């Protein structure tokens, strides 16, 4: 028979008791808002009967138990958005009093169908937290229903096809990437009825090889961009055999084949159909499953070294090469000694160098240009062309961009300007965070609303940048 004693506060632990075979355990259930009243507190030892009690107004419950090691399970009352919690407790050495933190619980739920209206079972539904890197996933079951249990917060939802179903992965709702996805706020209430329709697609597959020796190119990128709407490039990488596989909705696409950083030091990227410039590219009509094999050729190179103004190498800097009127921008990473090599074609280029993450090097155009209009031209012929780039050392500016209700704003452009104009910029990530390197001095900051949003931009905020600093901003809703 279980022994339950109702109480409002834990008394002092007694020095002696009638039976030395009984221990007193006090458990306090504490949720995000304070003590949890009416929670069921149960303790079970191995091969022993479970004993339970309910918490009182101050969140405490008392159990009288034989000496042993127990697992205490605290179950919040039905209807509260709190999770079941378990915690080990050792009563072999005497009485104990423990506080058990109860975490919040929320649910994102809905139904998955395809574009013909049929329910989809086995779809992988993942909720990505905007506050950190936490991802929680579940699968749709009979009736196409899914339910993802998460902590209260703000999320973005990614839905992937069941194996073999050939349904195109999307972000809820109807988006190709997280920067366009809806923000799902379950801080104060659950989100049910978040239904998603997955579109049927076709498979484009093939292999990428080097033209000269036929070797397969691992880690090459195969990128597509639909002609149907202004969306960014969507890319996949090749495996060890040089094989790739794209699942895309039916339609017309630009295709771009880009060698890996290693192979890109000798091989030139290519656009469909076997051309090196975007203006000469041909649209590819994907109306059924298809195969497309590609061979990449060698080309002349731009080589050099990236250093700071104190002479130290800038490892990991992205050296980006393009024609003054964009025909296919390509970026390669500088090695640990700052050296780089970019294979390209005979042409006239401008070069932009972007700093690595966490660096204080300020992005620049060769030589010290502020944008492509005042960057020096680089003429590439049949052989290697050397271009060494020197970057200024500045300060780190970072911060978080949110809406008035605290929702992180993803893909918001953040620009820093001096008296002459733009000097540095970055985009916010899924947590609303941005980081960039800026020159020292008097600056202004512009935060622009993302392309898909109903927010106002915040422009011309003055700051003084002498050391690393933070700048956070809140974007108000757009005027009705």
Query: How many Å apart are CA 414 and CA 358, to the nearest integer?
Result: 16
- Encode 143-154: b = buried (16+ Cβ within 10 Å), e = exposed: ebebebebbbbb
- Mean residue pLDDT of the chain comes to 91
Check whether 288 has a pLDDT greater than 80: yes
SS3 175: strand
Better-scored residue on pLDDT, 174 or 145: 145
Residues 175, 179, 180: CA angle, nearest 5 degrees: 35
Global pTM value: 0.79
- 54-68, 245-259, 364-378, 411-425: lowest mean pLDDT where? 364-378
Q: What is the pLDDT of residue 19?
A: 56
- Please tell me if the domain spanning 301-391 has the same topology as the one spanning 395-475: yes
CA 399, 405, 407, 413 torsion-angle sign: negative
- The tokens of 57 are what? 């107004």
Q: List C-alpha distances in Å: 16 to 22, 90, 91, 225, 424.
A: 11, 19, 15, 77, 71
Q: What is the pLDDT of residue 160?
A: 95
Q: What is the pLDDT of residue 20?
A: 62
Rg of the chain over all Cα atoms, to the nearest angstrom: 30
Check whether 91 has a pLDDT greater than 50: yes
For the chain, the 3-state helix, strand and coil shares in percent, each to the nearest 5, are: 0, 50, 50
Q: Among the CATH numbers 2.60.40.10, 3.40.830.10, 3.10.180.10, 3.40.50.1820, which is that of 106-198? A: 2.60.40.10
- Domain 203-296: CATH architecture, name and number where available: Sandwich (2.60)
Check whether 344 has a pLDDT greater than 80: yes
Mean pLDDT of 176-188: 90
Q: Specify whether the backbone of 198 is left (phi greater than 0), alpha (psi in -120 to 50) or beta.
A: beta
Mean pLDDT of 41-51: 82
Q: What is the pLDDT of residue 170?
A: 93
Contact, 302 vs 344, CB < 8 A? yes
Percent share of the chain, pLDDT over 90: 78
Q: 4-101 falls under which CATH superfamily?
A: Immunoglobulins (2.60.40.10)
Q: What are 394-444's pLDDT values in tens digits?
A: 999 999 999 999 999 999 999 999 998 999 999 999 999 999 999 999 999
Q: What is the pLDDT of residue 126?
A: 97
Rounded to a whole number of angstroms, the distance between the first and last alpha carbons of the chain is: 66
Query: How many Å apart are CA 242 and CA 245, to the nearest integer?
Result: 10
Query: How many Å apart are CA 394 and CA 441, to the nearest integer?
Result: 10
Check whether 48 has a pLDDT greater than 90: no
| Strand-pair partners of 457 | none
Check whether 216 has a pLDDT greater than 80: yes
CA 421, 427, 433, 434 torsion-angle sign: negative
Check whether 15 has a pLDDT greater than 60: no
Q: What are 50-88's pLDDT values in tens digits?
A: 899 999 999 999 999 999 899 999 999 998 999 999 999
Check whether 16 has a pLDDT greater than 90: no
Q: What are 300-340's pLDDT values in tens digits?
A: 999 999 999 999 999 999 999 988 776 778 899 999 999 99
CATH topology of domain 395-475: Immunoglobulin-like (2.60.40)
Check whether 11 has a pLDDT greater than 60: no
Q: List C-alpha distances in Å: 21 to 16, 41, 402.
A: 11, 21, 57
Residues 259, 428, 134: CA angle, nearest 5 degrees: 85
Domain ranges of the chain: 4-101, 106-198, 203-296, 301-391, 395-475
Q: Write the CATH number of the domain with boundaries 301-391.
A: 2.60.40.10
- The tokens of 196 are what? 């998603």
Q: List C-alpha distances in Å: 355 to 323, 337, 376, 391, 416.
A: 21, 14, 19, 9, 15
Q: What is the largest CA-CA distance in the chain?
A: 97
Percent share of the chain, pLDDT over 70: 95
Pick from 229, 236, 230: nearest CA to 255: 236
């Amino acid at each position: 028979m279980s022994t339950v004693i109702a109480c409002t506060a834990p008394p002092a632990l007694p020095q002696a008791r009638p039976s030395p075979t009984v221990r007193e355990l006090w458990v306090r259930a504490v949720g995000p808002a304070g003590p949890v009243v009416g929670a069921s507190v149960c303790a079970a030892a191995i091969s022993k009967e479970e004993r339970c009690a309910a918490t009182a107004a101050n969140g405490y419950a008392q159990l009288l138990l034989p000496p042993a090691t127990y697992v205490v399970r605290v179950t919040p009352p039905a209807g509260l958005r709190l999770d079941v919690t378990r915690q080990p407790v050792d009563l072999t050495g005497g009485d104990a009093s423990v506080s058990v933190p109860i975490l919040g619980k929320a649910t994102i739920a809905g139904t998955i169908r395809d574009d013909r209206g049929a329910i989809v079972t086995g779809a992988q539904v993942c909720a990505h937290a905007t506050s950190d890197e936490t991802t929680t996933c579940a699968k749709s079951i009979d009736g196409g229903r899914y339910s993802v249990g998460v902590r209260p917060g703000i999320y973005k939802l990614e839905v992937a096809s069941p194996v073999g179903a050939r349904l195109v992965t999307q972000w809820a709702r109807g988006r190709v990437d997280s920067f366009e996805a809806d923000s799902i706020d379950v801080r104060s209430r659950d989100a049910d009825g978040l239904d998603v329709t997955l579109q049927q697609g076709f498979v484009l597959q093939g292999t990428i090889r080097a033209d000269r020796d036929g070797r397969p190119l691992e880690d090459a990128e195969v990128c597509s961009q639909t002609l149907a709407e202004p969306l960014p490039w969507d890319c996949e990488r090749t495996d060890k055999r040089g094989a790739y596989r794209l699942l895309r909705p039916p339609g017309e696409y630009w295709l771009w084949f880009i060698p890996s950083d290693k192979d890109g030091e000798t091989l030139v990227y290519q656009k469909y159909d076997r051309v090196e410039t975007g203006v000469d590219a041909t649209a590819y009509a994907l109306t059924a499953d298809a195969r497309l094999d590609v061979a990449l050729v060698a080309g002349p190179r731009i080589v050099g070294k990236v250093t700071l103004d104190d002479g130290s190498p800038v490892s990991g800097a992205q050296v980006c090469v393009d024609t003054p009127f964009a025909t296919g921008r390509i970026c390669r990473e500088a090695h640990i000694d700052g050296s780089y090599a970019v294979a390209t074609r005979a042409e006239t280029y401008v070069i932009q160098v972007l700093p690595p993450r966490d660096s204080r090097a300020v992005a620049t155009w060769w030589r010290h240009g502020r944008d492509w209009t005042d960057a020096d031209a680089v003429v590439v012929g049949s052989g290697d062309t050397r271009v060494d780039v020197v970057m200024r050392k500045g300060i780190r500016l970072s911060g978080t961009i949110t809406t008035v209700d605290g929702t992180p704003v993803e893909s918001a452009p953040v620009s820093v300007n001096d008296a002459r104009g733009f000097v540095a910029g970055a985009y916010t990530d899924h947590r609303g965070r941005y980081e960039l390197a800026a020159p020292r001095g008097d600056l202004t900051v512009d935060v622009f609303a993302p392309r898909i949003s109903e927010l106002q931009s915040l422009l011309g905020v003055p700051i003084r940048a002498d050391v690393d600093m933070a700048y956070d901003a809140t974007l108000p809703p757009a005027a009705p």
